[in-house]
Amino acid sequence: MKTQEVALVSVFSAIWIAAQIYLGPTIGGITQLHGLTQRMFGWFLMLILAELTGKFGNVSVMSTIVALATRMIRRSASLYIWAVGLGYALGGLMFDFLFFLPIVSDVGGKIRRVYLIFVSLISGVVTSIPYILFKFFTLPSEAFIVWVPTYVPAAIIEVILSILGTVLGVSILPLIRPWSTMIKSKVRGS
Protein backbone atom coordinates (compact mmCIF):
# COMPACT_ATOMS: atom_id res chain seq x y z
CA MET A 1 0.00 0.00 0.00
CA LYS A 2 1.42 3.35 -0.98
CA THR A 3 1.42 6.44 1.23
CA GLN A 4 -1.49 8.04 -0.63
CA GLU A 5 -3.59 4.90 -0.14
CA VAL A 6 -2.74 4.68 3.56
CA ALA A 7 -3.67 8.34 3.99
CA LEU A 8 -6.99 7.96 2.17
CA VAL A 9 -7.91 4.74 3.98
CA SER A 10 -7.04 6.39 7.31
CA VAL A 11 -9.05 9.54 6.66
CA PHE A 12 -12.07 7.69 5.28
CA SER A 13 -11.95 5.22 8.19
CA ALA A 14 -11.83 8.08 10.69
CA ILE A 15 -14.81 9.78 9.03
CA TRP A 16 -16.85 6.58 9.09
CA ILE A 17 -15.91 5.82 12.72
CA ALA A 18 -16.76 9.35 13.85
CA ALA A 19 -20.07 9.22 12.00
CA GLN A 20 -21.00 5.92 13.63
CA ILE A 21 -19.95 6.88 17.14
CA TYR A 22 -21.06 10.51 17.28
CA LEU A 23 -23.73 10.99 14.61
CA GLY A 24 -25.24 7.50 14.61
CA PRO A 25 -27.06 7.65 17.95
CA THR A 26 -28.36 11.18 17.32
CA ILE A 27 -29.51 10.62 13.74
CA GLY A 28 -30.91 7.21 14.65
CA GLY A 29 -32.82 8.73 17.56
CA ILE A 30 -34.30 11.45 15.38
CA THR A 31 -35.21 9.26 12.40
CA GLN A 32 -35.89 6.02 14.29
CA LEU A 33 -33.85 4.22 11.61
CA HIS A 34 -31.19 1.91 13.00
CA GLY A 35 -28.06 1.83 10.87
CA LEU A 36 -28.81 4.95 8.84
CA THR A 37 -25.44 6.52 9.54
CA GLN A 38 -23.48 3.27 9.38
CA ARG A 39 -24.99 2.18 6.09
CA MET A 40 -25.34 5.49 4.22
CA PHE A 41 -21.99 6.93 5.28
CA GLY A 42 -20.26 3.58 4.94
CA TRP A 43 -21.39 2.76 1.42
CA PHE A 44 -20.90 6.37 0.32
CA LEU A 45 -17.31 6.26 1.60
CA MET A 46 -16.67 2.78 0.14
CA LEU A 47 -17.67 3.98 -3.32
CA ILE A 48 -15.64 7.19 -3.14
CA LEU A 49 -12.54 5.39 -1.80
CA ALA A 50 -12.76 2.67 -4.47
CA GLU A 51 -13.18 5.29 -7.17
CA LEU A 52 -10.35 7.50 -5.87
CA THR A 53 -7.75 4.76 -5.49
CA GLY A 54 -8.87 2.42 -8.26
CA LYS A 55 -7.26 -0.46 -6.42
CA PHE A 56 -8.67 -3.60 -4.83
CA GLY A 57 -8.18 -3.98 -1.08
CA ASN A 58 -8.50 -0.43 0.18
CA VAL A 59 -12.25 -0.69 0.84
CA SER A 60 -11.73 -4.03 2.59
CA VAL A 61 -9.05 -2.54 4.82
CA MET A 62 -11.21 0.50 5.60
CA SER A 63 -14.30 -1.53 6.49
CA THR A 64 -12.24 -3.88 8.67
CA ILE A 65 -10.61 -0.96 10.51
CA VAL A 66 -14.01 0.64 11.06
CA ALA A 67 -15.54 -2.62 12.28
CA LEU A 68 -12.71 -3.25 14.75
CA ALA A 69 -12.49 0.35 15.97
CA THR A 70 -16.20 0.80 16.55
CA ARG A 71 -16.40 -2.53 18.37
CA MET A 72 -13.49 -1.57 20.65
CA ILE A 73 -14.86 1.90 21.31
CA ARG A 74 -18.13 0.39 22.46
CA ARG A 75 -16.17 -1.77 24.94
CA SER A 76 -18.41 -4.75 25.09
CA ALA A 77 -17.48 -8.38 25.34
CA SER A 78 -20.78 -9.29 23.70
CA LEU A 79 -20.39 -11.68 20.81
CA TYR A 80 -23.34 -9.90 19.19
CA ILE A 81 -21.43 -6.69 18.48
CA TRP A 82 -18.53 -8.69 17.02
CA ALA A 83 -20.94 -10.54 14.70
CA VAL A 84 -22.25 -7.18 13.51
CA GLY A 85 -18.68 -5.90 13.06
CA LEU A 86 -17.77 -9.00 11.08
CA GLY A 87 -20.74 -8.24 8.86
CA TYR A 88 -19.41 -4.77 8.05
CA ALA A 89 -15.96 -6.16 7.29
CA LEU A 90 -17.43 -8.83 4.99
CA GLY A 91 -19.72 -6.27 3.36
CA GLY A 92 -16.70 -4.11 2.57
CA LEU A 93 -14.81 -7.09 1.17
CA MET A 94 -17.77 -8.00 -1.06
CA PHE A 95 -18.11 -4.37 -2.22
CA ASP A 96 -14.38 -4.34 -3.02
CA PHE A 97 -14.56 -7.65 -4.87
CA LEU A 98 -17.58 -6.73 -6.99
CA PHE A 99 -16.38 -3.18 -7.69
CA PHE A 100 -13.08 -4.42 -9.10
CA LEU A 101 -14.26 -7.39 -11.15
CA PRO A 102 -12.23 -7.23 -14.38
CA ILE A 103 -15.33 -7.96 -16.47
CA VAL A 104 -16.94 -4.64 -15.49
CA SER A 105 -13.86 -2.40 -15.51
CA ASP A 106 -14.77 -0.81 -18.85
CA VAL A 107 -18.50 -0.45 -18.18
CA GLY A 108 -19.73 3.14 -18.07
CA GLY A 109 -22.81 5.34 -18.11
CA LYS A 110 -26.18 4.05 -16.97
CA ILE A 111 -25.00 0.44 -16.99
CA ARG A 112 -22.26 1.31 -14.50
CA ARG A 113 -24.71 3.14 -12.22
CA VAL A 114 -27.03 0.14 -12.25
CA TYR A 115 -24.08 -2.15 -11.58
CA LEU A 116 -23.00 -0.02 -8.60
CA ILE A 117 -26.51 -0.32 -7.17
CA PHE A 118 -26.21 -4.09 -7.63
CA VAL A 119 -22.84 -4.01 -5.83
CA SER A 120 -24.48 -2.15 -2.93
CA LEU A 121 -27.40 -4.54 -2.85
CA ILE A 122 -25.21 -7.65 -2.67
CA SER A 123 -22.68 -6.19 -0.21
CA GLY A 124 -25.54 -4.85 1.93
CA VAL A 125 -27.08 -8.31 2.11
CA VAL A 126 -23.71 -9.90 2.91
CA THR A 127 -23.32 -7.46 5.80
CA SER A 128 -26.40 -8.98 7.47
CA ILE A 129 -25.31 -12.63 7.17
CA PRO A 130 -23.10 -12.87 10.31
CA TYR A 131 -25.84 -11.24 12.40
CA ILE A 132 -28.44 -13.68 11.09
CA LEU A 133 -26.11 -16.63 11.73
CA PHE A 134 -25.46 -15.32 15.23
CA LYS A 135 -29.19 -15.23 15.93
CA PHE A 136 -29.65 -18.68 14.35
CA PHE A 137 -27.06 -20.25 16.64
CA THR A 138 -27.98 -18.36 19.84
CA LEU A 139 -31.77 -18.41 19.75
CA PRO A 140 -33.88 -21.51 20.23
CA SER A 141 -35.37 -22.59 16.89
CA GLU A 142 -38.86 -21.38 17.83
CA ALA A 143 -37.53 -17.96 18.83
CA PHE A 144 -35.51 -17.73 15.61
CA ILE A 145 -38.62 -18.49 13.56
CA VAL A 146 -40.48 -15.71 15.39
CA TRP A 147 -37.51 -13.33 15.07
CA VAL A 148 -37.00 -13.69 11.28
CA PRO A 149 -40.24 -11.94 10.19
CA THR A 150 -39.52 -9.07 12.57
CA TYR A 151 -35.94 -8.71 11.31
CA VAL A 152 -36.61 -8.94 7.56
CA PRO A 153 -38.17 -5.43 7.27
CA ALA A 154 -35.24 -3.94 9.22
CA ALA A 155 -32.75 -5.78 7.01
CA ILE A 156 -34.49 -4.54 3.86
CA ILE A 157 -34.34 -0.96 5.17
CA GLU A 158 -30.62 -1.36 5.95
CA VAL A 159 -29.90 -2.65 2.44
CA ILE A 160 -31.88 0.27 0.98
CA LEU A 161 -29.76 2.63 3.11
CA SER A 162 -26.61 1.03 1.65
CA ILE A 163 -27.98 1.59 -1.83
CA LEU A 164 -28.86 5.21 -0.99
CA GLY A 165 -25.30 5.79 0.23
CA THR A 166 -24.00 4.51 -3.09
CA VAL A 167 -26.51 6.57 -5.07
CA LEU A 168 -25.35 9.65 -3.19
CA GLY A 169 -21.76 8.71 -4.01
CA VAL A 170 -22.59 8.17 -7.69
CA SER A 171 -24.05 11.66 -7.82
CA ILE A 172 -20.74 13.23 -6.82
CA LEU A 173 -18.41 10.96 -8.81
CA PRO A 174 -18.22 13.48 -11.68
CA LEU A 175 -17.02 16.11 -9.19
CA ILE A 176 -14.17 13.95 -7.91
CA ARG A 177 -13.06 12.60 -11.29
CA PRO A 178 -10.10 15.06 -11.59
CA TRP A 179 -8.80 14.00 -8.17
CA SER A 180 -9.50 10.38 -8.94
CA THR A 181 -7.35 10.48 -12.06
CA MET A 182 -4.51 12.18 -10.20
CA ILE A 183 -4.64 9.82 -7.21
CA LYS A 184 -4.89 6.69 -9.36
CA SER A 185 -1.79 7.72 -11.29
CA LYS A 186 0.16 8.24 -8.05
CA VAL A 187 -1.08 4.97 -6.56
CA ARG A 188 -0.08 3.05 -9.65
CA GLY A 189 3.29 4.82 -9.71
CA SER A 190 2.84 6.50 -13.10
Statement: residue 174 has pLDDT above 80: yes
42 pLDDT band, cuts 50/70/90, is: very high
Nearest to 49 by CA among 25, 34, 65: 65
What pTM did the predictor assign? 0.91
Per-residue pLDDT, 106 = 81
71 pLDDT band, cuts 50/70/90, is: confident
User: How many other C-beta atoms can be found within 10 angstroms of the C-beta atom of residue 135?
Assistant: 16
State which residues form the domain around 87.
Answer: 3-187
Alpha carbons 37 and 163: distance in angstroms, whole number:
13
pLDDT tens digits, residue range 131-159? 999 999 999 999 999 999 999 999 999 99
Structural domain count, the chain: 1
The residue type at 187? V
Statement: residue 190 has pLDDT above 60: no
